[in-house]
Structure 1
Amino acid sequence: MTVDFKGRVAIVTGAGGGLGRAHALALAARGARVLVNDLGGAVDGSGGSVGAAQKVVDEIVAAGGQALANGASVTDFAAVQAMVQQAVDAWGRVDVLVNNAGILRDKSFAKMDMDDFRLVVDVHLMGAANCCKAVWPHMVAQNYGRIVMTTSSTGLYGNFGQANYGAAKLAQVGLMQTLAIEGAKYGIRVNALAPTAATRMTEGLLPAEVLAALKPEAVVPAMLVLAHESAPTRAILCAGAGGFEAAHITLTEGIHLGLDDDTPEQLAARLDEVLARTDGEQVPQSGAAQAQLEVGKAMAVHA
């Protein structure tokens, strides 16, 4: 099977440089018409110019592809709606959305200004939600859509100095889980990508040889698979330096204690059993799985 995108229309946000640029170039090289979105601001989200997006468009066109530039901020829903309409007006549809736009405002939580916390959540989470909302009716109408969220190992597992970024990135996974359920009957598949890549966000943080291995292009194959017509749905793929893994949010088998005056003491005494990872651990298909497991254990005791 060839992973191609002939006849497909893709929107990639934050595509003026780094990972987003690599995504846009790869989609175009495999046949997609690509709307390249980038605010053109600094890493912290300040400033803005459509120049960065236009430069990537020029690269795509020079290579024989079709592309358009867009400078909307993903935090501006009206501008995002206009961006999606720009793609629809030019090419008649939107098949793929890659939510890649993001900023950093790193500091330890103790020293972090709450405005910086809010802004990072606004760009990553609300930006992704705005873009999903804008493409959703088009994908529903055509009974086809592929959405790729960009999560992070910081969101999945934590990282010092990135409470705002981590919160926003795991929130994208929560958005992905529900959109995948709601989109299933419309042929919309929604997945998340956790990249490890050297971009201008990581400059100065890693040694040169590590940066060389972590080129953005090494993450792109995972994005292409998640954006393709053969994509899974509700997958969290991790990618970097040519390696690929999957992350799962799981539920342990746990125990049933009932509710007595000493249940807190019982739980404290048996907490290791609750936390234990066994063959009974599962990857829930929806949030209802937790209630089903708990009620099932309770019913078994009273049967």
Structure 2
Amino acid sequence: MQTLNFNDQVAVVTGAGRGIGLAYAELLASRGARVIVNDRGVDIDGGGVDSGPAELAAESLTLRGYTVLPDTSDISTTEGANAVIDCAIKAFGKIDIVINNAGIYTMDDFPDLDLDMMKRHFDVHIGGSFNVTKAAWPHMVERGYGRIVMTTSTGALGAANMVAYGAAKAGVLGMGRALAQVGEQHRIKVNMIAPQAMSRMMAAGYGENAAAVLHDPQRNPDLVAPMAVVLCHERCPSNGATYLSGMRRNAAIYISETPGHIHPDLGLTPEDILDNWDQVVDEKEAITLGGTMAEAAYHSTLIGNAMSQ
């Protein structure tokens, strides 16, 4: 089995001062990467600023012989995102890897949820991921190589108490799938990871029950880091894909489309749809969607076959 190493690779990991992001930074550094640990040190809801997490994480990893620098830039702003990438370029001369891990989390109660809270989640999750990726992109294009990991969540699939967080994570998923298509011609791969590990955010979600799972070794962020490292490596086999990782389990998350029901003529009515609902939702011949031209061909084939009958 060939060891995956990152000798001469430079990585930026956002939200890496603690928790899951720190696990990513540590594993990358242990495999030879030079790492910028970005963390503004905010509370889970985005409030407050503390340089301590980034500085302590970098100091701890440096004492172990790794090449790590701290950065406390605010990646939710264009200036902050440019600053963290500039830090990598000035210190190490290039950027190979970006892991967009930084995020905030606030449980909400719709319809009491207000637009300001939605915007705060969008600014960090979507805006932050966009800003850092955009800042790194020209450097990756110039060298014809790059690996970007976006952080999504199963919350993107819907959860009653995380409308803002889930919507933001769904936006990250859509953005990552689109950027994967843009980057393909430049040998830049963009993939998504949905971590399943105990973090400050997950602890907040568990509330009073957090203590029971906080120290569960199955929920250690170290069990998420290996998948992130695979997605960062030059041998990464996928592009535009989404993976769930944690508690020793790694799995792919797919978005699929059924063949559906094609009405025999142009007189389609709501009643026709409801009468054929079983065929609309029949999953037996569903295909996985990857945002490629092959899907357009698939749709054309379905319509063509229906018209010829």
Q: Is 1:97 equivalent to 2:103 in the alignment?
A: no
The worse-fitting range, judged by mean Cα deviation, of 259-268 and 169-178 is 259-268
Deviation at 1:49, TM superposition (A): 2.3
Match of 1:247, as an amino acid? Answer: I
8 Å contact kept, 1:105–1:117: no
Within the candidate set 223, 227, 230, 2:235 is matched to 230
8 Å contact kept, 2:14–2:37: yes
8 Å contact kept, 1:251–1:290: no
8 Å contact kept, 2:14–2:39: yes
Deviation at 1:26, TM superposition (A): 1.1
Deviation at 1:164, TM superposition (A): 0.8
8 Å contact kept, 1:257–1:263: no
Size of the alignment, in residue pairs?
Answer: 301
Aligned match of 1:194: 194
8 Å contact kept, 2:203–2:210: no
Q: Deviations over 1:110-142 (max 9, x none)?
A: 121220111111110111001110000001011
Aligned match of 1:249: 255
Aligned match of 1:86: 87
TM-score using structure 2 length: 0.93
Aligned match of 1:147: 148
- Partner Cα separation in structure 2 for residue 208 and residue 41 of structure 1: 22
8 Å contact kept, 1:14–1:37: yes
Deviation at 1:74, TM superposition (A): 1.2
Aligned pair in 2 of structure 1 residues 7, 288: CA closer, same or farther (>3 Å)? same
Aligned pair in 2 of structure 1 residues 233, 294: CA closer, same or farther (>3 Å)? closer
Aligned pair in 2 of structure 1 residues 262, 87: CA closer, same or farther (>3 Å)? closer
Aligned match of 2:273: 267
TM-score using structure 1 length: 0.95
The worse-fitting range, judged by mean Cα deviation, of 105-114 and 140-149 is 105-114
Deviation at 1:227, TM superposition (A): 0.7
Deviation at 1:296, TM superposition (A): 2.5
RMSD: 1.6
8 Å contact kept, 1:152–1:194: yes
Deviation at 1:201, TM superposition (A): 1.4
Sequence identity, in percent?
A: 35
Aligned pair in 2 of structure 1 residues 55, 13: CA closer, same or farther (>3 Å)? same
8 Å contact kept, 2:100–2:151: yes
SS of the counterpart of 1:16? coil
- Partner Cα separation in structure 1 for residue 261 and residue 57 of structure 2: 54
- Partner Cα separation in structure 1 for residue 169 and residue 293 of structure 2: 23
List 4+ stretches of structure 1 deviating above 6 A.
none
- Partner Cα separation in structure 2 for residue 51 and residue 161 of structure 1: 31
Deviation at 1:208, TM superposition (A): 4.2
Structure 2: stretches of 5+ with no match in the other structure: none
Aligned match of 2:127: 126
- Partner Cα separation in structure 1 for residue 41 and residue 211 of structure 2: 26
Q: Deviations over 1:256-297 (max 9, x none)?
A: 11554443211111122111111x211133265554333323
8 Å contact kept, 2:259–2:302: no
- Partner Cα separation in structure 2 for residue 192 and residue 133 of structure 1: 16
SS of the counterpart of 1:239? strand
SS of the counterpart of 2:88? helix
Aligned match of 1:43: 44
8 Å contact kept, 1:256–1:294: no
SS of the counterpart of 1:167? helix
- Partner Cα separation in structure 2 for residue 263 and residue 289 of structure 1: 29
8 Å contact kept, 1:99–1:148: yes
SS of the counterpart of 2:291? coil
